[in-house]
Structure 1
Amino acid sequence: MNFENLLKIKVLYVEDDKNTREEIKYFLEKRVEKLYLAENGEEGFNLYKEVNPDIIITDLQMPKLSGIEMSKLIRKENSNIPIIITTAFNDLNYLFEGINIGVTSYLTKPLNLKLLIESLISISKNIFLEIENKEIFNTLKQYKDIVDESAIVSKTNLEGIITYINEPFEKISGYKKEELIGQSHNIIRHPDVEKSFFTNIWHLIKDEKKSWQGKIKNISKDGYAYYLDILIKPILDLNGEVIEYISLANDITYFEETKEYFKEQTIKKSLDLSESVNILNQYKDAINESNMIIRLNTQRVITYVNDSFASETGFKKEDLIYKPYSILKQPTLNQKEYEEKVENIFSSKGWRGQITNETKSGKLLHCDVVTFPLKNLKGEIIEYLGIRHNITEIVNLHEELEETQREIIYKLGDIGESRSQETGNHVKRVAEYSKLIAIKLNMSSDEISTIFTASPMHDIGKVGIPDAILNKPSKLNEEEWEIMKTHSEIGYEILKTSTRPILQAAAIISYTHHEKWDGTGYPKGLKGEDIHIYGRITALADVFDALGSNRTYKKAWPLEDILALFKEQKGKHFDPKLVDLFMDNLDEFLTIRNKFKD
């Protein structure tokens, strides 16, 4: 057993029987950081307030205050502290009363010391998982704060009414939050911008539910024009309906004003050629100093890169000039994707988007890119000009945020699994199996990502099942089984009120992954495609991993026995289409199982 966490735990043990108390004292005092003893419920409650223990073990029948009465008083002080109840009375009334006040575990006398220590180890692990999760949530909040401080952010409701702006938005617009919240963005719309421009944006994000990215000219409270490079994204619920809109923008006022200045100067009739060339050179220098510049001829051979381009990519200029464009590798794309992107980049209309290259040292370099085809007076392309801006830090931060969210989900999934003594990599394998099934079903990339991230929480509801039932080594009786089955609904109740799509998906998975294709599952007895596809996928992934893994109560099944069961349960327990898909891609599932062995 792993006693590492237990050695950091303070335990309060309340027992009126002296012999039992001394026996447990001898057994536990060197296995925990500190053991406190009390002879009755009143003394136990007073000692709890004095020493603030991490776990409480208490007898039921005691003088002055019973274990249940003491636990109720403690629950008023601390609703989360783990409480283990011990009793010589095998009475379900005590069990249900204990469940109602939220006891963590229920052990009968005479105490099985092995079960006691296993319960304490499991609870101590959960305590430290919770501490670790709080630290992760704290880190995630700090990451969010960094983004909120560095970008210009706003949110609107379905009618386009502003519901949130951050400080950078206040600063550039000149308005305070209270002046903007409850208003539409028309308050900052520059009169030079036609209403049809916003009508087109509104159609794209509202009717087509797609993101829009581009440049917008706004006007501040003081009447100054400012320009934003902005992304507006509709936020969708699980049904694909828009619930709000969010925009993330960067200030490009200086760049746009420079262009406008040059444009105005060059069209003046009084401006002679030498002055035009002078301004053009200054403009070119301004762009050159603030961006990565690359030029290519019509054969897509590099003819020029500036110092910034060479520095960011790690190459010397001579390593790149007169080399084909293909020297700039894009490792995140397969061959087909690479060829399609290159054709877009070198289109006659120009191109704007994001490119990920590999630097000379092998690191990934993410850039916002604008490619211009430069033409002669006949309209023929004579070369291509590429302007890039390094956004690697923003991309890495976004990826780190996603990874942190995924880690939090795994940790929450681990809480449910560790209480039932599941193996360490169970939730990871279930996630990988579910992702593979979703890919083979040709689900959208968003749905694949959602089920991959949410499926580890399928058994989160086990946190509400007493250890005495959850880890019972023998078969559960009918009443215990009914309690065990409630973990699906417990998980659903925990997650269903979240507004986050991932947690909403996790609620659906928790609620439906024990339903069966023929309608004999629980908790609702749903049948066929009435069972959400997320639940059907996770059910198959969960059973495959459970049968193929060692547990405290069983050995792993041989693969041939698992396959025989799946064939027999096709159209009964499992969606027949998913069983066929599983059988057709068995090698890939086994690769995942081998990769994430316990």
Structure 2
Amino acid sequence: MNSKKNSFVFDESKCKILIVDDSKTINNLLTREFNNFNYKTYNAYNLKEARKIIETNHIDYLILDINLPDGKGYDLFENLENTSIKTFILTSQKDEEKREFSFKKGIIDFIIKDNFLFQKIEQIIEMINKIEQNKNETILVIDDSFVIQQQLKDLFENRNYNVLLASNEKDALKMIQEEQPDLMILDVELKKANGIDFLQKNNELIISELKIPVIIISGTINITITRDSYKAGAVDVIKKPFVIEEMNLKIDLWIDYKRKQKELNRSSQLLKQYKNAVDERSIVSKTDEKGIITYVNEQFCLLSGYSKKELIGKNHNIVSHPDNKKELYKKIWNTIKNEKKSWTGKIKNKKKDGTYYWIDALIKPILDKNGNIEEFIALKNDITEQEDVKEYFQLKLKGSQKDLNHSIKLAREYEKAIDISSILLRTDADGKINYVNNKFVELTEFTKKELIGSDYRIFKNIETENEIFKNIESLLEDKIIFNGILKNRSKFGKTYWINITIVPIKDDNHKTIEYMWIINDLTELFNLNEEIQSTQKEIIYKMGEIGETRSKETGNHVKRVAEYSKLLATLYGLDEQQANILLVASPMHDIGKVGIPDSILKKPGKLTTEEFEIMKEHAMIGYNILKDSNREILKAAAIVAKEHHEKWNGSGYPFGLKGEEIHIYGRITAIADVFDALGSERCYKKAWEDEKIFELFRNQRAKHFDPKLIDLFFDNIQQFNDIRDKYKD
């Protein structure tokens, strides 16, 4: 299993930078640029001011000038060796000896103050961003020298990389399989082994499958070692003792390459999914610049009646319909080939069996980097049914006295078709039913005898309130057509959903003489939607149980937290929709625990400081699992996962938010989670008595917890106890 940490999210606004330079011009320039990127900056113009700022503030990065009025910048740098502050040196001198010394001491980079300083600021900002991203990257060092291991470990950890160490082939192979590092440093001379032979032997796993860049290091560099290293799959060879700046540059280069490779893989995967989505939903074809078909999807074949074998390699005019005018094709070809623009419009095509179909098409030329056409892609939708209806009404309008009988016959055929395919109701101007078809009878479960002559409100269920059952004239008002969706019950109590379109039928004087009700049964669609929503809620609930199960907490914990959260949300004044969203989302508060090692998650005793830091990562792990969803419930669950350990006074994690900076979902779930956790027995503690819990809540009012929510909790304590009793473990 790959246990590598990939949960860190860099927030520039949380990053604090101290700029130490006695030039106000340079100091102000750097400050302005960093602030533009949302960094928090501090300014000092001498060593004394810099030391005071460092003593009273948590500084992440130091931009340090060498020559200052009260001493050398190196004096300050020497005092920071045991801190987490990362330093960039500003200097106007190109001293190579000082550079290597400084890199050995752990500086990130040398910035020369010259005429190009302004452009270098973006490089600093980019470097800081990459260093923060390094917290998600792992380097495996394979070397049997403890001194080299520690030297490289210190060097790489100073740049925020996660570092793994291995001294032999067995340990190295195990780490590669389990941790899947992003980069390997491999020494040629290992005890009882040769590093190049190891790489050659495991080339399939390391290079082909995991695509890990490997840098060979060796005390001796000759043509044989160089040749064998590259043949085994290494990307570079570095001689020991190595120049630290060179090592830093090459490590950063290949890590950056690996990042871009990952991003390319993600983009390729997304592109493939987008293509699949388009293929499933649209009719797709591609042709070369001469109009020869090179690709069609299944939807194209189903509509046209041709197989892929019959279409590939043929001119696209194989489906052209003779009714289309030549001018249409000339216009399309001129637009897409000569003007190199997209063309949209309707086209009538011919199926293999000789019948026709209509499509609404977008034809787009695909250009290479030089603007030359590589191919054409066409995305289409079938609009045959709409065009047939349009043609029918055009035919009716054009019907003359001479072919009146023919038009009437066609009208009756269409009326028959509509009657068979739709649910119909007609009422007179006063709302009295004068016609219903069989489908209306089946839907409402009234008989035709009960319906004909009755007021249209007869099929309204007493539990249904809807504007459709108001006076029809006032319902339509100045509208030509009314459309609405109705949930109703049949005569015998069966629930159904329908889409109703009411069309007023007018005489020659524009007076309404009748209303035509065209009804579509949506019951199956709504039932399916409810089933999907129910399934989504069940999945979310089960995911919440997964997080609790890993830490040996009962499924009833997430049930209680969900019900407590909904109750508290309602008491707080959130509307019913928000309260129900929190009910479903709150069980996901600890889903991030799936990324925490069992040794920490299930430890029976108290966690060490280091173990608790790892445990705290479950908040951001959960947030990253959920944050990219477009579903409202999962977006709410992401907020809950991230913020349910924040505290009202700002002492919580992961971001130290204060007061109402914490989302109300997070504030509510915090109380619900702590109340249930303290009252439940866990692997590392006994359940607390109620009075002990209540005492803690009173003490933590306006410290850990939102004071208003705590007041609501105590004012309604019996309702919380009722939920706890209902869902006892």
Shorter-chain-normalised TM-score: which range?
Answer: 0.5 to 0.7
Which residue of structure 2 aligns with residue 287 of structure 1?
A: 418
Which of 534, 543, 564 does residue 674 from structure 2 map onto?
543
Within the alignment, does 1:510 sit opposite 2:648 as a pair? no
User: What does 1:25-40 align with in structure 2 at a 5 Å threshold?
Assistant: none
C-alpha change, 1:541 and 1:175, in structure 2 (3 Å) is: farther
The answer to whether the 8 Å contact 2:283/2:381 transfers is no
CA distance in 1, matches of 2:307, 2:498: 33
C-alpha displacement at 1:218, in angstroms?
4.5
The answer to whether the 8 Å contact 1:423/1:551 transfers is no
CA distance in 1, matches of 2:468, 2:720: 31
C-alpha displacement at 1:310, in angstroms?
1.7
CA distance in 2, matches of 1:293, 1:550: 63
Within the alignment, does 1:347 sit opposite 2:476 as a pair? yes
CA distance in 2, matches of 1:394, 1:403: 14
The answer to whether the 8 Å contact 1:517/1:572 transfers is yes
User: What does 1:362-441 align with in structure 2 at a 5 Å threshold?
Assistant: 362-435=493-566
C-alpha change, 1:531 and 1:278, in structure 2 (3 Å) is: same
C-alpha change, 1:499 and 1:356, in structure 2 (3 Å) is: closer
CA distance in 1, matches of 2:346, 2:476: 30
The answer to whether the 8 Å contact 2:461/2:489 transfers is yes
Which of 76, 79, 103 does residue 177 from structure 2 map onto?
76
C-alpha change, 1:221 and 1:304, in structure 2 (3 Å) is: closer
Within the alignment, does 1:327 sit opposite 2:327 as a pair? no
CA distance in 1, matches of 2:357, 2:696: 69
C-alpha displacement at 1:417, in angstroms?
0.6
C-alpha change, 1:498 and 1:286, in structure 2 (3 Å) is: closer
Which residue of structure 1 aligns with residue 148 of structure 2?
A: none
* 1:306 aligned partner, one-letter code: N
* 2:476 aligned partner, one-letter code: S
C-alpha change, 1:227 and 1:463, in structure 2 (3 Å) is: same
* 1:347 aligned partner, one-letter code: L
C-alpha change, 1:557 and 1:517, in structure 2 (3 Å) is: same
Deviations 1:529-582 (A, max 9, x none): 222333223223323443555656434754x77666555544322234444565
The answer to whether the 8 Å contact 1:265/1:271 transfers is no
Which residue of structure 1 aligns with residue 705 of structure 2?
A: 574
* 2:177 aligned partner, one-letter code: K
**Aligned residue pair count:** 398
The answer to whether the 8 Å contact 1:369/1:387 transfers is yes
User: What does 1:263-342 align with in structure 2 at a 5 Å threshold?
Assistant: 263-270=394-401, 277-298=408-429, 300-321=431-452, 322=454, 324-325=456-457, 327-329=459-461, 335=465, 338-339=466-467
CA distance in 2, matches of 1:452, 1:485: 24
Which residue of structure 1 aligns with residue 655 of structure 2?
A: 524
The answer to whether the 8 Å contact 2:349/2:358 transfers is no
C-alpha change, 1:72 and 1:298, in structure 2 (3 Å) is: farther
SS of 2:476's partner is coil
C-alpha change, 1:175 and 1:275, in structure 2 (3 Å) is: closer
Which residue of structure 1 aligns with residue 618 of structure 2?
A: 487
C-alpha displacement at 1:434, in angstroms?
3.8
CA distance in 1, matches of 2:443, 2:570: 35
Deviations 1:134-193 (A, max 9, x none): xxxxxxxxxx9xx989995699xxxxxxxxx9855886699999x9xxxxxxxxxx99xx
C-alpha displacement at 1:288, in angstroms?
0.8
Which residue of structure 2 aligns with residue 110 of structure 1?
A: none
The answer to whether the 8 Å contact 1:430/1:456 transfers is yes
TM-score, normalisation: structure 2: 0.44
User: What does 1:31-430 align with in structure 2 at a 5 Å threshold?
Assistant: 73=174, 76=177, 152=281, 168=299, 218-219=346-347, 226=358, 253-254=384-385, 257-258=388-389, 260-270=391-401, 277-298=408-429, 300-321=431-452, 322=454, 324-325=456-457, 327-329=459-461, 335=465, 338-339=466-467, 346-348=475-477, 349=479, 350-360=481-491, 362-430=493-561
* 2:686 aligned partner, one-letter code: K
The answer to whether the 8 Å contact 1:315/1:360 transfers is yes
CA distance in 1, matches of 2:297, 2:669: 39
Which residue of structure 1 aligns with residue 98 of structure 2?
A: none
CA distance in 2, matches of 1:305, 1:276: 24
Moved more, 68-77 or 278-287: 68-77
Which of 454, 470, 483 does residue 601 from structure 2 map onto?
470
SS of 1:387's partner is strand
Q: Which has the larger radius of gyration?
A: 2
What are the ranges of 5 or more consecutive residues in structure 1 without an aligned counterpart?
1-67, 80-143, 156-164, 180-189, 192-215, 229-248
C-alpha change, 1:505 and 1:375, in structure 2 (3 Å) is: same
SS of 2:671's partner is helix
What are the ranges of 5 or more consecutive residues in structure 2 without an aligned counterpart?
1-168, 181-272, 285-295, 313-323, 326-343, 361-379
* 1:554 aligned partner, one-letter code: K
Q: Percent identity?
A: 46
The answer to whether the 8 Å contact 2:596/2:615 transfers is yes
C-alpha change, 1:521 and 1:259, in structure 2 (3 Å) is: same
SS of 2:539's partner is helix
Which of 437, 447, 460 does residue 591 from structure 2 map onto?
460
C-alpha displacement at 1:226, in angstroms?
4.4
The answer to whether the 8 Å contact 1:149/1:166 transfers is no
SS of 2:647's partner is coil
Deviations 1:476-527 (A, max 9, x none): 4545444433322332344446676654543332221100111121222111
TM-score, normalisation: structure 1: 0.53
CA distance in 2, matches of 1:294, 1:566: 63
C-alpha change, 1:281 and 1:586, in structure 2 (3 Å) is: farther
The answer to whether the 8 Å contact 1:330/1:356 transfers is no
The answer to whether the 8 Å contact 1:433/1:589 transfers is yes
* 1:395 aligned partner, one-letter code: F
Which residue of structure 1 aligns with residue 291 of structure 2?
A: none
Taking CA–CA contacts closer than 8 Å with sequence separation of 6 or more, which of the two structures ends up with the larger relative contact order? 1
C-alpha displacement at 1:588, in angstroms?
6.6
The answer to whether the 8 Å contact 1:292/1:387 transfers is yes
